[in-house]
Amino acid sequence: MSLIETINLGQQFDRRYVLKEINLKIDKGEVFALIGPTGAGKTTLLRLLDLLEISSSGTVYFDGVDVTRSQRHRLEARRRMSFVQQKPIVFTMSVYDNIACGLRWRHEKDQTIRQKVESVLELVDMAPYSSRNAKTLSGGETQRVAIARALIAEPEVLFLDEPTANLDPASTAKVEEILAHIIREQKTTVVMATHDMSQGQRIASRIGVLMSGEILQVGTPNEIFCLPSTKEVAEFIGVENILNGIVIEKDANLATIEVNSSIIQAISDYAVGDRVYVIIRPEDITFTLAKDTSSARNVFKGKITRTTPVGPLVRIEVDCGFPLLGVVTKKSAEELELSIGKEVYTSFKATAIHTIKRWNQ
Amino acid sequence: MTELWQGLIKAIQLIVTFDPEVMEIAGRSLAIAATSCSIASLMCLPLGSLIHFSRFAGKRLLINLLQTLYSVPTVAIGLFVFVLFSRAGPIGGLGLVFTPIAIVIGQALLVTPIILGLTISALSGVDKAVTETAISLGASRFQAIILTIKEVRYAILTAVIMGFGRAISEVGISLMVGGNIKGFTRTITTAISLETSKGDIELSIALGIILILLAMIINFALNRLQQR
């Protein structure tokens, strides 16, 4: 059995479902990221898994034990977990005492506490702050104290709610480095909520996409980012080329899809007559001035409608009978002289396309 | 003005010479107020936590009632305790009327709403996330409550000092249930009241100054705590 398992877990506030039928399995040593927009229910789910809240429906198993209701089982299970909140609260006491309290509550000996606090302070690079009043720390330092405090009891599961949401890039990097260290060295099971998809991708071994209180997809980062299972997931992970199409021909797994009277060829499991969303990642689109002679099955002539510089890249929007968005480096954009109104050829491979069944119109 | 001046000189004389009668009265006042305040605090801290951390119907009403009782007249409590402990009263048999114990009980009743109300108010000011963080870090419900109380330790201490200030400065209870018996239940406030009616304004002023000095010490302590 998984370390954490939920069966039809639901949470209601004021007769409104915040979470619906969550069925999740998280294995020992796994790093699981919950991604989803703000208000999707990520924090509520973490609070249910950390046993801070009691669910309105469903069951939570921790290490095979039903911990949904029993206070005793909940405390026992909770003492094997730790939770770092999005905006961590430090207690009005020294950094040392803040970190030590978890062990004191577990009635550890003073000497053990001292050794462990010193070692975890080293780990989060906060040793010189030991006697500082924790209330006087900066946001990044507070987050590190919160992580140290969560780690001191050597939890089997570490829950992190948007651990870097309020931090500057330098502090974010530091916190991620600490997390990577814990995951690598201590093999702690980590469940983190984040709206930063790239963070999920960097840290997690598996990702669950939570939207409007429902888990829409669970998979490896690669599966989520390359093969989103619904249009909503595709939109959330930032896929901007989502075209409505219909499969008109099928040869083995090569489908011919009609999109706005244009024909796109894609590798797809769907059958002739199926309505689909055609998903093309911007980075898979190549721009050329002359017709591309490469192996790409899909080549379309179009006119540039918009160019937007984004850091070292430029987003190019093209009208090929259907709208298409691609990205090129700034240097390529200059070399190709890509500007509004210019005619270009866009090409992409049949294997670069992902299709999702479209149930509505 | 002369009386005030002479009162001031006499007060200094009485204080620097450690006048036995004044010291005895001041000592008794301090002891009675400290005892009543300690008893009230010992009851109010757990009771206040219980009220704050539990959910029940009428909680808001109870808190409003406590706040109303902040300004209960001391003579009303004096009367209540007197009726309770007088020979004909329900527990008159204990023979406590006109003893320091009766004053302690009366003062404890007087300051209980203040300490209780301010304790609840201090605890309400703590972010709920503090208790939750403690629970998420493995604290039992009881351990989390203790931590929350520790978080507002200075505000609770302030509540206790406020209660002490109210106890040491009251006169109604001490007079009505203590009886102002010399060497037994006489406190600073009852002595001032008596000496003034006897015409010994200087001693009254001296005792008044001592009372104000005590109040000042309390206020300084309070300010120091609030600055932390």
pLDDT in tens, A208-266: 999 999 999 999 998 998 889 998 999 888 888 999 999 998 888 899 999 988 899 99
Query: What proportion of chain A, given as a percentage, has pLDDT over 70?
Result: 99
Classified as helix, coil or strand, A48 is: helix
Distance from CA of A299 to the nearest CA of B (A): 56
Q: Parallel, antiparallel, or unpaired: how do β-strands A313-319 and A323-329 relate?
A: antiparallel
- Residue A197 confidence (pLDDT): 82
Put simply, whether A79 touches B (Cβ < 8 Å) is yes
- Considering only alpha carbons, which residue of chain A is nearest residue B133? A89
Distance CA A144, CA B131 (A): 20
Domain assignment of residue B205, given as a range: 2-227
Mutation site, B131, B132, B137, B147, interface A, largest A CB count within 10 A: B137
| CB-facing half-sphere around the CA of B213: CA atoms within 13 A | 13
Distance CA B210, CA A301 (A): 98
Q: Give the nearest partner residue to A150 out of B130, B137, B151, using CB atoms.
A: B137
- Residue B226 confidence (pLDDT): 67
* A166 has pLDDT over 80: no
Q: Which residues from chain A sit within 8 angstroms of residue B127, using beta carbons?
A: 89
Cβ atoms B11, B206 nearer than 8 A:
yes
* B29 has pLDDT over 60: yes
DSSP assignment of A171-195 equals: HHHHHHHHHHHHHHHH--EEEEEES
Q: Which residues from chain A sit within 8 angstroms of residue B134, using beta carbons?
A: 91, 101, 105
Distance CA B167, CA B74 (A): 10
Distance from CA of B127 to the nearest CA of A (A): 9
| CB-facing half-sphere around the CA of A186: CA atoms within 13 A | 19
pLDDT confidence of B5, banded at 50, 70, 90?
confident
In Å, how far are A1, A30, A106, B167, B222 from A61, measured between CA atoms?
9, 16, 23, 55, 50
- Residue A169 confidence (pLDDT): 86
The pLDDT tens digits for A282-340 are 989 999 888 766 778 889 999 999 999 998 999 999 998 899 999 999 998 888 888 89
Question: Which CATH number goes with the domain that contains B101?
Answer: 1.10.3720.10
- Residue A39 confidence (pLDDT): 87
Q: Parallel, antiparallel, or unpaired: how do β-strands A313-319 and A214-219 relate?
A: unpaired
pLDDT confidence of B228, banded at 50, 70, 90?
low
* A188 has pLDDT over 80: yes
Q: Give the nearest partner residue to B143 out of A82, A88, A105, using CB atoms.
A: A105
In Å, how far are A123, A216, B138 from A100, measured between CA atoms?
15, 39, 12
The pLDDT tens digits for B174-214 are 999 999 999 999 999 999 999 889 988 878 888 888 888 88
Q: Phi and psi at residue A310, in whole multiples of 5°? A: -130, 100
Report the length, in residues, of chain B: 228
Distance CA A96, CA A114 (A): 9
- Residues whose CB falls within 8 Å of the CB of residue A35, separated by 6 or more in sequence, listed in order: A42, A193, A194, A195, A197, A200, A207, A208, A209, A210, A224, A236, A237
Q: pTM of the entire structure?
A: 0.77
Q: Which residues from chain B sit within 8 angstroms of residue A88, using beta carbons?
A: 133
- Residue A69 confidence (pLDDT): 85
Q: Average pLDDT in the A147-161 region?
A: 91
Enter the tokens of residue A94.
């020294």
Q: What is the total count of domains within chain B?
A: 1
Q: Average pLDDT in the A123-130 region?
A: 90
Q: Phi and psi at residue A47, in whole multiples of 5°? A: -65, -35
- Residue A180 confidence (pLDDT): 87
Q: What is the CA radius of gyration of chain B?
A: 20
Cβ atoms B28, B178 nearer than 8 A:
no
Instruction: Report ipTM (2 d.p.).
Output: 0.74
Lowest mean pLDDT segment, chosen from A120-124, B135-139, B213-217: B213-217
Handedness of CA B23, B24, B30, B33 (dihedral sign): negative
Q: Average pLDDT in the A19-39 region?
A: 92
- Residue A112 confidence (pLDDT): 94
- Residue A304 confidence (pLDDT): 93
* A203 has pLDDT over 90: no
